[in-house]
Structure 1
């Protein structure tokens, strides 16, 4: 039997997948922006959500949404902090 390590985000993934079906949720808006740009910095994503939808720049929910998108295989993240690079990779088939 193999040892599978679960991340805290794993239990929330069904909720995040459901939110992606509604264009008016943070994960859906974030994914649409990243997809439209192809590659973008974390600062640019946060700034867009703040200026367009008045999201708080320091909101932990934005970071959680990004982690969910990465865990779902929709984006890749390279680097750390506001300069990290986020790339849309689409759903894995």
Structure 2
């Protein structure tokens, strides 16, 4: 089990991952980040996470596992945004 998993991007893939992580008890805390306020609101209504933000760096701070699920064209920008906030030893992956 992970202490904190951060999901950056909570579209179809990210939300599917959130549901499995929650159902299987893979994290004590699920942090959700997305740029869209309406998507963030919907994720919260669905109970996909434990905390919600439009600032990806806030979600990844102190995360043991970071899963980035954004369009390929946004990956570089997101990586640059979250890199300074990643904790040492965190696992970073994309889908």
Q: Which structure has the bigger radius of gyration?
A: 1
TM-score, length basis structure 1: 0.28
Give 1 or 2: higher strand fraction: 2
Larger proportion of helix: 1
